[in-house]
Amino acid sequence: MIKLKGKSPRKKRLGLIFGAGYLVLLLLFAIFGPMIRNAQLSDVAKKVDPDIRVYNAVLDPVSSSPFAPAGGAATLGTDELRRDIVARLAEGARVSLTVGLSVQLIALLVGVTVGVLGVLAPKWIRNPLMRFTDGMFAFPDILLAILIVSVVGLGMGPVIFALSVTAWPSIARLVASQVATLKDREYVVAAKAAGASNFYLVTRHILPQITGILLAYSMIDLAGTILAESTLSFLGIGVQEPQPSWGGMINGARLNMNSYPVLLIWPCAVLSLTIFALNFVGDGLRALSDPRDRSA
Amino acid sequence: MQLARALSTRFLLGLLSLLFISFVTFLADEIQPGDAATVLAGEKASAETIARLRENLGLNRPWPIRYVEFVSKAVRGDFGTSYYGVKEPVGQLVGRNVTMTITIASSAILLASAIGIFLGTLAAVWQNKPPDQGILFISTFGVTLPNFVLAPILAYFFALQWDVLPLTWSVDRVAPDYYYLILPVVVLAMRPTALLTRLTRASMVETLRQEFIRTAIAKGVPPFRLYVKHALRNAILPVITAIGTSFGFLLTGSFVVETYFLLPGLGSTTIDAIRKGDVPVVQACVMLTGAIFIVLNLFVDLILPILDPRIRESQV
């Protein structure tokens, strides 16, 4: 038999476990990393730089070179402004996860509403709504995000807004296609015949059926959102310095790339690993939520 | 007839999305503090001077009128002058930079198509064997690895460690121009190459399972002829569509590459203008980028029925 899917279910389950494990570690790192860092900093360092939570300046303010070697007081060393790389990575993880999760939450709310309305609403609402969704879907995400950022402004809030606007159409299309097939299933028709309202049908009979697929899709889409956030920050039109972000760190590393490639390697590695992990988890969840895939 | 109707619908939808973009870009000027009058008058101007200037420029009229004027001027390529530097006309500034974007995007799509179709065909021929698995594994990286991670890595090795290619574009170039474009084009081509490889493979695998291929094998067609003339010709159509859309994404998505390698192109101009708050330049760049993308997608819709008689005869 010809195998169409690239990975076997067993490999997918393994990917799911490793991906999920990495993501849990990342989440803990994002939550507790900056806190531990702050506790370790001496009072001297806090006096040198009062804005310590953002800057995370290093313990030794008298050394002539701002770059501390890895393994000392700063585990991975420091950057050109004496900022601890680990602490900045943790802050960057915070930014990426905050932006990513907020965007997915907003996109799910909007996307599910539009997707359901796009199938069940009266024709004069349904058709223009789905045409509009298709139009938004066809447009390149990053171009749309840049367009919105150019109107709304720079910073974390605008990034969340811009990426939410680009993220909902694909969810709406997914929900619409699922609802369209589910609404004619016998159990739904039976409930309808028994006098159930549309709202009851959707919330009790249709949406519970698609939560698995939606969750899997959101995970993969979360990778796209984090990537887009990093891209905007890399271009300098996303999260603004001194707020650390992975994209901003990669951009900042170019100045001293030749002598201090570590500044480049760590944010690149963490970002790429996160993207891979999210894709693995999404793939694994999809395999779990699709019974055909599970039995294969 | 149905085809003509479908195509004209697409055309109208394209125009509609362009109008939508123009409205959002117009909003950019409305929302942000300051306008052409405050910029032209300079920092030390009094309130009266600005008010007079605003009246002369027609900025005190209601926004629907100004929007119509904005669109009618935009259609003729008139976006006013840049807020900064020598206050160059925006049309001229953008026109100067668009050549670079077109050059790198077309080079990248040529490179991606050649490598993608070649590797994809190889992978399909050796389906589920080590070469296929290797190609699929690498292409997974190609799809997921972001441009701004690949660009510094390649730059680090090729420009800094081995010193065989220049790091960034500069005004005083010592080598021929194309030398400076190798790294940007390679970085830009990575994602479409990976996508086209996967698509060609999938399409070829599908085609190779069909009966006319079995017939061809049975009547003794030599392998090269079988794969290229019989299979690839049939499998290439979805790939051509994808080349078209990828080209659209390259032309409108070279922000990162242009910014990183300091190339004077449409993408880097847009980013620069957003950071400086140079509204007319942002408006022109965004409108032009959107227009390019929409026109290119229309073109892909147009070219498919020409290439494939099956689509021409059935409805779209």
- Tell me the pLDDT tens digit for each residue of B25-39: 887 777 766 666 776
Calculate the CA A104 to chain-centre distance.
Answer: 7
pLDDT tens-digit profile of B140-185? 888 888 888 888 888 888 888 887 778 788 777 777 778 888 899 9
Cβ–Cβ contact A5 with B under 8 A: no
With a pLDDT cut of 70, the percent of chain A lying above it is 80
Calculate the CA A64 to chain-centre distance.
Answer: 39
| Least CB–CB distance from A135: residue in B13, B160, B271 | B13
Q: Which two tokens stand for residue A235?
A: 């271009």
Minimum mean pLDDT among A116-125, B15-24, B104-113, B189-198: which range? Answer: B15-24
Mutate to test the interface with B, among A165, A222, A234 (most CBs of B within 10 A): A234
CA distance, residue B225 to nearest chain A CA (Å): 23
pLDDT tens-digit profile of A130-177? 888 887 887 778 888 888 888 888 889 999 999 999 999 999 999 999
B window 60-99, beta carbon within 8 A of A:
none
Cβ–Cβ contact B265 with A under 8 A: no
| Mean pLDDT over the full length of chain B | 83
Length of chain B: 316
Helix (H) or strand (E) holding B197: helix B177-208
SS3 content of chain A, % helix, strand, coil (to 5): 75, 0, 25
- Does the pLDDT at position A10 exceed 80? no
- Name chain A contacts of B282, Cβ cutoff 8 Å: 150
pLDDT value of position A240? 84
- Name chain A contacts of B293, Cβ cutoff 8 Å: 139-140, 143
- Name chain B contacts of A230, Cβ cutoff 8 Å: 146, 148
Q: Which two tokens stand for residue A243?
A: 């707020």
Averaging pLDDT over each range in A277-281, B46-50, B59-63, which range is the top one? A277-281
pLDDT tens-digit profile of B71-91? 888 877 777 778 777 778 888
pLDDT value of position A290? 67
- Name chain B contacts of A138, Cβ cutoff 8 Å: 297
Length of chain A: 296
Q: Is B249 in contact with A140 (CB distance < 8 Å)?
A: yes
- Name chain A contacts of B291, Cβ cutoff 8 Å: none
| Least CB–CB distance from B145: residue in A153, A234, A272 | A272
Q: Is A42 in contact with A58 (CB distance < 8 Å)?
A: no
Cβ–Cβ contact B253 with A under 8 A: yes
- Does the pLDDT at position A63 exceed 70? no
Widest Cα–Cα separation across chain B: 89
pLDDT tens-digit profile of A79-94? 776 677 888 888 889 9
- ipTM for the predicted complex comes to 0.81
Per-residue DSSP letters for A96-139? HHHHHHHHHHHHHHHHHHHHHHHHHS-HHHHHHHHHHHHHHHHS
